[in-house]
Structure formats: C-alpha cells, structure tokens
A and B are shown apart, each in its own frame.
Chain A
Amino acid sequence: MAKVRRKSIMVVDDNASIREIIARALREEGYTVVTARDGFDALNKTAKRTFDLVFLDISLPGQSGLDVLSKLNSIHPLTPVIILTAVQDVAYEKVAMRRQAVAYLRKPCGVGEITEMANRMLSRRRGRKMKETVALKNKR
C-alpha cells in the first residue's frame, strides 16, 4: 500500500496557546502541522516548503495578516489561506476576500469548526485541484 503523504497545514497565530490548541486538534485529525508566531516566521517557513493549507491570524505583531496574505499568495498562489480573526469587520473581510483568502473564520471558535473547515478544504482540493472561494459564515 502506497504511503499517502500526509497533508501539511501551517497555523500562524501570535498567541501560543491558540497556536497549540489548533495544531493539536489538526494533528489529531492526521495532518502535519507547522506553527508560526508571526508574519516573518510564517514567510520563512513557507520559503522552505509548500503547505496544503494555511490558517492565518489577521492581527499579528510586526506586519498585519493581510500583508502576509498578499505575500503568501505571490509565493504560493495555489495554497489556500483561511483567515482567522477576532475582529468583526466587514471591510476587513472584503479586503481579505479580494486578496484571495478562501475562507474567513471568526475567533473565538471551537476547534471542531477548524478541523471541519480543514477537512472540507483539503478534500475539495484533492478532488478539483483548484482554488475556490468559499464564504463561510460564522454561525454564531
């Protein structure tokens, strides 16, 4: 049986606890997870390898998540990015969507929601191999 490469996900968040809990949940689902604490860290790590999915917190120290999103897109245009945000702001969401984030997730959210989102994204990708924009509303 051919070894199936495990899907890799990068989680970018400045809060270590958040980073870890998301990473743990995703790992439980069987994904390879790399964490980054800020924009520079994240960009460094994507320079060495590609990820199948990125969870990107929008408010980061140093440079904003939106800038990081633009740069990630220019390096790996096919890597889908899901924005995590604690800010409820329509304008922010609009900018994020324009910069080709695939989804938008509001914090705080349950880890279940994150893993579900990751599963959906990656299964779709597997099937169609193309980037889609999916607007998911925070149910709350």
Chain B
Amino acid sequence: MHWQYNQYSLLSLIAGVISVTLIVYIWQRRTTPGAMAFLVLMLTVAVWSVGSFLELGSAGLSTKVFWAKIQQLGMSVLPIAWLSFALLYTGRSKWLTRRRIIGLAVLPVITLLLVWTNHAHHLFWRDIRLDSSGPFPMMVSDRGVWFWVDLTYSYFLISIGIYCMIQAYIRASSPYRAQAGVLLVGAIAPLAASLLSLSNLDPFTYMDTTPFGFTVSGLALAWGLFLLRLLDVVPVARDSVIRDMPDAMIVINTSNRVVDLNPAAEEILGQPATEIVGQPATNVLEGCLDFNYESASISEKHLEIVVSKDQSQTYYELNISPIFEKNSRLAGRLVILRDITEHKQVEDTIRHRLEFEKTISIISSRLVGVSDMDQAVYASLQDIGEFSGATRSHLLFLPKGKIGIDSIYEWCADGVPPRIGDLTSFYATSLSWWMDELRERHVISIADVSQMPECTQIEKCQLDHYGIASLFMVPGFVEKELAGFVSLENVAHPEKWTTIDLMLLRTFADIMGSAFERKHSEDRIKEANAELCKAMDQLKDSQAQLMQSEKLAAIGQLISGVAHELNNPLMVISGTAELMLTYVENEIERDDLQNLHNNTLRAISIVSNLLSFARKHEPEMKYVSINDVIESVITLRSYELNLDGIEIITELDPTLPNTLADFPQLQQVFLNLLINAEQAMKESNGEGRLLIQTQTVGETIQVEFTDNGPGVPGEILSHIFEPFFTTKDVGKGTGLGLSICYGIIQEHKGQISVESSEGKGTIFRVELPILGRSVGCVS
C-alpha cells in the first residue's frame, strides 16, 4: 500500500491515540456510573479519528474510500453514544431505556448500510473522486441525499447532548463550578470543532475536525469524571440524591414562597409540588406541620416538631439553613425535615428503660434495711404510679391462711380521691375471681374496662362503679404462697400496660415479698429475744428465790434438830417449876419460881416458832375465801387493835374467786403482817391506819397491807424476809415471822413482796395463784 505523510493526518492520529489511551483509561474504571457510555463514545471517536488518519494517509482512491467507510462507522454511532453519555452524566438515566437506544440506532444503521452499498445507489455520496490539487491527494465527495439526512440527525442528537451539558453547567452550584467548567469544555469542544469543520476555512478544508473536538471533550470529561469525581456527585447523583432522599427538602425564596421541594416533602405536606410551589411558606408549613415558619425562621435553625396524624405521632427534625448567592446575598432558605420518629421511639424506649432501672434501684435501696416500712412502701408506690402514668397504685397483703385482707397501702395522684376505705369491701365482693387468677400466677391486665368481656360483668360493674378505666394487677408470693398483690389503676383513661410496667410491678412485688419476709423474721427474732430476756429475768428471780429457799431449808434443818433437843429439857424445867409452885409457900421463892416458869414458857414459845418455821410440810389445800381468812384474822386481833388505836380499813373484792389454800397457814401469814404493821405504827405514832385490800389481777389474787407507819429503810428492806433478821428489841421478836410468811407463800406458789418509803408507810403485797378455778365457785 502506498503511504503519504501529511500534518493533517498527524492531527487525526493524535486524536486517535488520545482516544485509545482514554479507552484504556476508562476501561480500568468502567464500574463508575456512566463510564460504559463514555467508553463507547471514545471508541467511536477512536474509530473516526483512526479512520480519518488512515484515509488522509493512504494514496489510492479506493483505499481512501474504504477508510472513509470505516470512519463512517464511528461517525454514525458517536451521536448516540454522546447523547447517552450526556443523559447519564446529567442524571437522566431514567430516560435512557434499551428500547429508546435501539430506536435511536435505527437511522445510523440505515446510514451504514447505505454507505457500504453506496456504489449501487449513490445515495450517500453522489460522486467520489481523488482531488490532487491540494498539497496532498484528498478524497472529495459530492454529498448525496442521505448524507444530509444523517448529518442533520447526528447534529440533532449531539445538540441535545450539548444542551444537557450546558443546562447542567448552569444549574451547578458554586462548590461544583470547576466540575461545571469541565462540562462546558466537554460540551463546547465538539460543537466548535464541528462548526470549524463545516466552515471550510483553511486549513480545515482538508479534514474533519469533529473527532478532534470530541477528543478534547473526552479529555476534559475524563478529567472531570475520574479526577474531580464529577459523576459521583454532580450532577447525576446530586439530583437523584435530592429526589430519592428520605428527608424532605423545601426551598424557600427571600419573599418566603416555596420554590422547590422534593418528593419526600410532597409526601409529608400531602400535596403535589405543583400545588405547593409558589405558595407562601408560612401557609404551607403551618397548615401541614402546625409550625410557625415566620417566628422560627430567624432565630431557630434546628428544632424538633411533632405532627399528629390518625392517632400516630411523627417526629421531625427541622433544619432551616440560609442559601447565599455568590456575593453573600441571601437567596432564600432551605428547609429540611428529617423523620426522626423511629429514632425518637428508640430514644424514648431507652429513656423509659433508664427511668425503670432508676425506679427499681430507688425502690430496692429504700426497702433494704428500712425501719419505717410503711413510709418506704408509700414512697415506692408513688414512684411506681408516677413511672407507669397511673392515677392510683395499691399494695395489698393477704393474711396467711385466712380469708380477707391484712393491710392495704395506697398512693393517689394529685386530685385523685383515695378509695382505700372501699378497697376492703371491693376486693371482698369480687375476691374470688381476682384471687383465683392471681393464685394461678396470672397477671390481670385490663387496658380498657369498657372492653371487658361478658363473662366478667360483675367485675366490670365494680370497676365502673369506682370509675376505673384500666387496671393492672400483679401477684406477689412469699414462700410460694400468694401473699398479696400490687395494682395500678387509671381513672382518667384506658392505659395500655406495657411489659416494662409488668417488670416494674413484678420486681416491686418480689422486693416487697422478700422485704416483708425479712421484716417478719426480724420481728420474730425481736419477739423471741424479748421472750428470752423475760425468761432470763424470771430465771434470775427464781434462782434468787431458790437460793432463799435453800437457805431457809438448811436453817430449818438446823433449827428443827436443835429445837427438838431443847423441847424436852424445857418441858422438864417448866414442869418442875409448875410442880414446885404447888408446894412452895415463901413469897420470894414463889416469885422466883414464877419468873423461871414464865421464861421457860417463853423459851418454849420461841422453840415452837422455830419449829413452825422449820417444819417442812405441804399445806393442806382446801377451797378457801381469802377474804374470809383476812376477816378471821381481824376478828382475832380486834381487841388489841382497838386498844392500840389502830384503824383497819378493808377493801375486799366481793367477786374474789376461791382458791386452793391452807386456811390456818394463811391466817398465820396475815396475822403476822397485821401484827407487824400494828407494832410499827404503834411505836412511831401511837396510832395508825391500816388498809387491807384484795383484788383479782390476771390469774392471781392480790392482797395488800398498806400502813401509814414509819416505813422501812432501804438497807433493811432487802433483808426483811431473811430468817432471824429483826429490828425489834431483844426479847420481842424471833426474826422469824416474815421468813415463815415467805415460806408459807412459797409453798402456795405465790409471791410476797414489800414496798416502802420512809416516813410514809409500807405496803406488803401477797400474790396467790388462783388454783382449781374450774372446780371452785365465785363467792
């Protein structure tokens, strides 16, 4: 093949090389959106450029014609590729369907068929000849009819593409100006080249500059596409992002009218864009969102609004940002509404959950180691009620193993009347149903009382009667037994009780269960401790008494032995004296004998006393009236009492029961007490008043001897019942009287005690158990 060199073909070669390089470059980045269309475009440019280069370079006409035909392949496909790319590039990918592409391709395919069969019909080229008049031989053709058709069609498609590019450039906002500039170059270069080509000006007469234009355009676009990431954001993505984004976007101009909005905004505002655009922003936003745009637009930029629709609430985050023109002049405002309902719900759930945990921790810390349980329970009921939005909360305890109600705690919200007074009857009447449910560990959750089923009419009536709109009851168990329940009520409106309410009540019921279990066991321990202390005291008392008794028994044994030994000699002495008195006549001797006899009798009396103290025998128990015993003693002493000026006042309880006792022994006791009082009062005042009282105190008969004598000093008081302890003058007392009394009362399983204040008097108190009461009669 003959080859000729010229500078024009070189230009085509450069365009070809560049476009092939671009093809390779694009191929490596073919995943970028729009890259494939760009690749096809560059391929057509390459075919055109290379074809042009080979046409210009070859010498023979037939060869030139062949390359011209090859060139035509690129020329025909290029407009479609350009248009496709431009559409994709400017975000109109939707328009570009397969069917449309095929439709667009129909004409170029016809062109190609006509080109290749031109020799038969000359429709494309009427005449082709070699023009050697120029610096190098050129293929010159007279254009046929179809050439013009094809040219028109091509320019039409290219123009649309260029139009799209220019429009995208105009629309592009300032941050994207560089990219837009690239777009402009990409759009204008082919246009300019094409115009140059058509102008037939030198040096362009000899060649078609259009592919070179496309090469420049390709370079620019490749730079924008891959280096400036033109396609990523602008304008293809940018428009679609705004169109498809879930956030509503409303553009408002400086005169506060809506200029633009995206589909999401249409949906939220509930009107098509055609109706909203041009409307005052205030009307639109206030009508649909109940949001005062005017008052908010200046100060607030970031706020939350709630839109209620069909009982559901939607939360929006509203952002208002100013739009400035290049010269910093305010061009309008951009309102963006983001649906944050889900976010809000999650946030609410978390907040609620935190509140729940806080409430639980407050309640549990309050009920641990608490002393005032009631106060803690009331406070906790308040926490629970407030947390769950209830108007009343109750805690109710059931008595163990019994029917009825043990105790109720109630909390009422402000302005809600308490019904604690009615609760007892309330649960008593409807008890069986509630209790059966609760015992089965069921939770009673009535969201809306008015929706209660037929079978629960009784309960529904009850609830209606008290105006309760919804109810929630959770049982509590102690040692696996139903111990009570916690309940929430709402009088205002139906309440959908949530699982978190349930958890709260469950936890509270559990805490209460264990708190009360603990409190009960603490109380039981305290009780047991108190009893133990009491028993301890009693033990100490009886130990002291036992020691006293043992002391007495030992002394008794000693005395009894001594006394018996003394009895016989005393009897002999007194007998002898008695005998001698029968025959001694001397007065002085008789006096001595009488003195001897008297003192012997006294000794006998002492021994007798000693023996009666030492005597250890069970009292002879008969039903006796203590009042009778006392009266007999007073009678016995009435003469001496009168003589000594002692007044006796008796306050004897006529209802005093009879008891099993030894009458003479008790006589001895009371006689002793009477004589002691008598002597004490006589010695200090020469007169006195003795009060004798009897009464029933519990299971004992209490007898008190209250005198107004001188009283007994403390140090004596503690020894008063000890044997041989006496304060009387020598010869006047044995010191055994009270210890004998003590012994007798002990044998009667009773108590004798003394209280005294010096100068005021003394009280002797005898307590006797009421024995054999079932047999005995009440006097």
Contacts and interface: CB of A to CB of B under 8 A. Distances in A.
B579 A108 contact: no
B505 interface: no
A109 interface: yes
B582 A28 contact: yes
A88 B620 contact: no
A108 B604 contact: yes
A86 B612 CA distance: 12
Interface in A48-101: 86, 88-90
Interface in A17-57: 17-18, 21-22, 24-25, 28
Given A25-B579, A89-B617, A111-B579, 4 more contacts: A21-B572, A21-B575, A107-B567, A108-B567
Interface string B357-398: 000000000000000000000000000000000000000000
Contact of A140 (B564, B571, B608): B608
Contacts of A108: 567-568, 570-571, 574, 604, 607
B598 to A, nearest CB: 12
Contacts of A110: 574-575, 578, 601
B569 interface: yes
B578 A17 contact: no
Nearest to B574: A110
B572 A18 contact: yes
Contacts of A15: 568, 572
A22 B605 contact: no
Contacts of A22: 575
Interface residues of A, number: 19
B611 interface: yes
10 contacts: A15-B572, A21-B572, A21-B575, A28-B579, A108-B571, A108-B604, A108-B607, A109-B571, A110-B578, A140-B604
Nearest to A59: B564
What are the 4 closest A-B residue pairs judged by CB atoms, nearest first? A108-B571, A21-B575, A111-B575, A17-B572
A88 B611 CA distance: 9
B571 A107 contact: yes
A110 B570 CA distance: 10
B21 interface: no
B91 to A, nearest CB: 133
B576 A21 contact: yes
A112 to B, nearest CB: 6
A115 to B, nearest CB: 10
A89 B608 CA distance: 13
Contact of A21 (B579, B611, B612, B617): B579
Most buried by B among A17, A88, A108: A108
- Chain B interface: which size bin? 20 to 34
B243 interface: no
Contact of B568 (A18, A90, A111): A18
Contacts of A112: 578
Contacts of A18: 568, 571-572, 575
A88 B571 contact: no
Contact of B575 (A25, A88, A90, A140): A25
A107 to B, nearest CB: 6
A30 to B, nearest CB: 13
A18 B570 CA distance: 10
Nearest to A91: B617
A17 B568 contact: yes
Interface string B602-644: 0011011001100101001000000000000000000000000
Contacts of B571: 18, 21, 107-109
Interface of A: 15, 17-18, 21-22, 24-25, 28, 86, 88-90, 107-112, 140
A95 B113 CA distance: 165
A68 to B, nearest CB: 19
A24 B576 CA distance: 9
Contacts of A21: 571-572, 575-576, 579
A18 B569 CA distance: 8
A108 B573 CA distance: 10
Contacts of B569: 17
Contacts of B568: 15, 17-18, 86, 107-108
Contact of B578 (A89, A107, A111, A140): A111
A111 B582 CA distance: 11
Contacts of A17: 568-569, 572
B384 to A, nearest CB: 77
Contacts of B605: 140
Contacts of B579: 21, 24-25, 28, 111
A22 B578 CA distance: 11
A108 to B, nearest CB: 3
Contacts of A25: 575, 578-579
A112 B581 CA distance: 11
A88 B615 contact: yes
Contacts of B604: 108, 140
A86 B567 contact: yes
A22 B571 CA distance: 10
B594 to A, nearest CB: 13
Contacts of A90: 617, 620
A25 B605 CA distance: 22
Contacts of B572: 15, 17-18, 21
B737 to A, nearest CB: 16
A90 B567 CA distance: 19
Nearest to B582: A28
Contacts of B578: 25, 110-112
Nearest to A84: B571
Nearest to A21: B575
Nearest to B566: A108
A86 B575 contact: no
Interface in B414-457: none
A89 B614 CA distance: 13
Nearest to A20: B572
B146 to A, nearest CB: 164
Nearest to B571: A108
A86 B561 CA distance: 12
Contacts of A140: 604-605, 608
Contacts of A89: 617
Interface string B705-743: 000000000000000000000000000000000000000
Nearest to A112: B578
Nearest to B564: A86
Contact of B612 (A24, A88, A107, A111): A88
Contacts of B611: 88
Nearest to A140: B608
Most buried by B among A24, A109, A111, A112: A111
Contacts of B576: 21
A28 B579 CA distance: 9
